[in-house]
Structure 1
Amino acid sequence: MTRTDPSWQFTRAITRRPGESVTHGLRAVDTGAPDLGLMLKHHADYVAALRAAGAEVVELPPLEPFPDALFVEDTALCLPEGAVLMRPGAPSRAGEVAEMAPVIRGLFAEVREIRGPGTIEGGDILFTPREVLVGQSARTNAAGIAELRAILADWGRSLREIRVPDGVLHFKTDCSLLDGQTILATGRLAQSGCFDGYRVILTAPGEEAAANAIRYNDVVLMAAGFPETAESLRKAGYRVQEIGNSECAKLDGGMSCLSLRF
């Protein structure tokens, strides 16, 4: 079933401030501990950018027992029909969903949940007007995807499974939605053909980390420090706002990871 509802037009967002425990967050490669003070500044800039783009932001307090809890996107999938509570693939993050569940249930009339035994994280899910793309990764497995597929079928939405390239944490580490027909992606992901039928704007060589951006209404929020990719987006007609992300990047986090948008 083809949908026409814009999947980048929102009114609300949920974020969570990082806590002192964030220095113990998960990371694929240790590039040094994040600077909490600088991270808090970047996070405040991020929240301010969401508000400027039209968001009513629910800003949750830190969760010290869960160092990665600022990456709220992995805990739920928010769609016009309702929300789905995820089941994270990283054991240390499993408790984050229980903390997020009351917030989600207070905002959505229809809430489903992934019960397992499969696992799935929001960072592996790209929602477009025509389909929901889900990447199978180290955090999201076939059983988790199958359970989500059944939920989405009830809502009249189709799911297409994608294989995430080796060494890439999440599907959306390497891609983001710019509009109903356009994807920002790395070359290593796009060359798989998973975006056939879409217009693809590639990140500049050496700027692969720029692929994790978010379109929120009329603005594309992207990490600062990737000038060639930012210029490509501006030339393509997008309004771009760059936000510092150096500290979240040390924990494999990007723009989409830091909020739930609906």
Structure 2
Amino acid sequence: MSDHSFRFSHAICRLPAASITHGLRAVDTGSPDLAVMLAHHADYVATLRATGAKVTVLPALTDYPDSVFVEDTALCLPQGAVIMRPGAPTRLGEAAEMAPHLVALYGSVRSIAGQASHIEGGDILVTETEVLVGRSARTNAQGIAELAGLVADWGWPVREVHTPPGVLHFKTDCSLLDGETILSTPRLSASGCFAGYRVLDVPEGEEAAANTIRFNDLVLTPAGFPRTRDMLLRAGYQVREIGNSECAKLDGGMSCLSLRFGPKA
């Protein structure tokens, strides 16, 4: 088994803009503090770089309050990248802003183009063998079908799954820990969508910790969830806790803050 789903040589991040206070959120738990978010973001970037990866940090985009969450704009695979078509109308322009940066890095960049298609990277979990895409308020059947067609000749099967009701993105509730292991909330794993994988369920009350990222030898988890941290440590993972209090106010987590990719096939 290869490990392209969690071994990365590059990442792209984007600085949060002062307009982040106008970012989308399902429930208003207060406006994010830009200074605190910038400090957390710097820690995040430094942690990725500490693994030896090259991390490009793009400038803030004032016109797009949610643009710090770059993962929603594209899907990066070894064979190429696919530009997404976000389901939130205010975020459509973010994908266009990301496209030229991916064109500069990849020989093949494709785009979701259907006017009825909507799909965001936060709903996509790539494992060693397949691409799981969660239907959600931001990702619809047309977007999933179009993605399946775009990546078929790259050898990637796409499997449609379902994001739990009231959950923004599929990866809000899950993340990849290694080639055979997925961290999940009990409400998501109970659906059976991870049959064939080893599943670690986050403890009750720590559902927000399900959104982590495995980046080379590190598992980046949001700070403040000690039982999940300890469970991962017992399972043999190297854990790095990153402050996420401000991104969490905008339904953002560890995976949202970067596009991650490795040597191209």
What range describes the TM-score normalised by the shorter chain of this pair?
Answer: over 0.9
Which of 4, 7, 20 is the equivalent residue of 1:6? Answer: 4
**Which residue of 1 is the match for residue 101 of structure 2?**
103
**Which residue of 2 is the match for residue 192 of structure 1?**
191
Q: 1:177 touches 1:214 (CA, 8 Å); kept in 2? A: yes
How far 1:230 moved relative to its partner? 0.5
The within-5 A match list for 1:118-137 is 118-137=117-136
The answer to whether residue 40 in structure 2 is matched with residue 42 in structure 1 is yes
**Which residue of 2 is the match for residue 25 of structure 1?**
23
In structure 1, C-alpha distance between the alignment counterparts of 2:197 and 2:184, rounded to whole Å? 11
How far 1:53 moved relative to its partner? 1.6
Q: 1:136 touches 1:163 (CA, 8 Å); kept in 2? A: yes
Equivalent residue letter for 1:72 = V
**Which residue of 2 is the match for residue 64 of structure 1?**
62
Secondary structure, counterpart of 1:107 in structure 2: coil
Q: 2:223 touches 2:244 (CA, 8 Å); kept in 1? A: yes
In structure 1, C-alpha distance between the alignment counterparts of 2:157 and 2:127, rounded to whole Å? 10
**Which residue of 1 is the match for residue 166 of structure 2?**
167
In structure 1, C-alpha distance between the alignment counterparts of 2:217 and 2:173, rounded to whole Å? 21
In structure 2, C-alpha distance between the alignment counterparts of 1:59 and 1:4, rounded to whole Å? 28
Q: 1:175 touches 1:184 (CA, 8 Å); kept in 2? A: yes
**Which residue of 2 is the match for residue 75 of structure 1?**
73
**Which residue of 2 is the match for residue 235 of structure 1?**
234
TM-score (norm 2): 0.97
In structure 2, C-alpha distance between the alignment counterparts of 1:237 and 1:223, rounded to whole Å? 18
Q: 1:4 touches 1:130 (CA, 8 Å); kept in 2? A: no
Q: 1:53 touches 1:217 (CA, 8 Å); kept in 2? A: yes
- Displaced runs of 4 or more, over 3 A: none
How many residue pairs get aligned? The number is: 260
Equivalent residue letter for 1:123 = G
How far 1:256 moved relative to its partner? 0.2
Secondary structure, counterpart of 1:169 in structure 2: coil
In structure 2, C-alpha distance between the alignment counterparts of 1:53 and 1:4, rounded to whole Å? 18
In structure 2, C-alpha distance between the alignment counterparts of 1:158 and 1:230, rounded to whole Å? 32
How far 1:4 moved relative to its partner? 3.6
Equivalent residue letter for 1:152 = V
In structure 1, C-alpha distance between the alignment counterparts of 2:181 and 2:211, rounded to whole Å? 14
Which of 77, 82, 85 is the equivalent residue of 2:83? Answer: 85
In structure 2, C-alpha distance between the alignment counterparts of 1:146 and 1:47, rounded to whole Å? 33
How far 1:152 moved relative to its partner? 1.5
How far 1:6 moved relative to its partner? 2.8
**Which residue of 1 is the match for residue 148 of structure 2?**
149
How far 1:97 moved relative to its partner? 0.9
How far 1:5 moved relative to its partner? 4.5
Show CA shifts across 1:77-135 (max 9, x none). Answer: 00000000000000000000111111010011110000022100000000000111000
Unmatched segments (≥5 aa) in structure 2: none
CA RMSD of aligned residues (A): 0.8
**Which residue of 2 is the match for residue 176 of structure 1?**
175
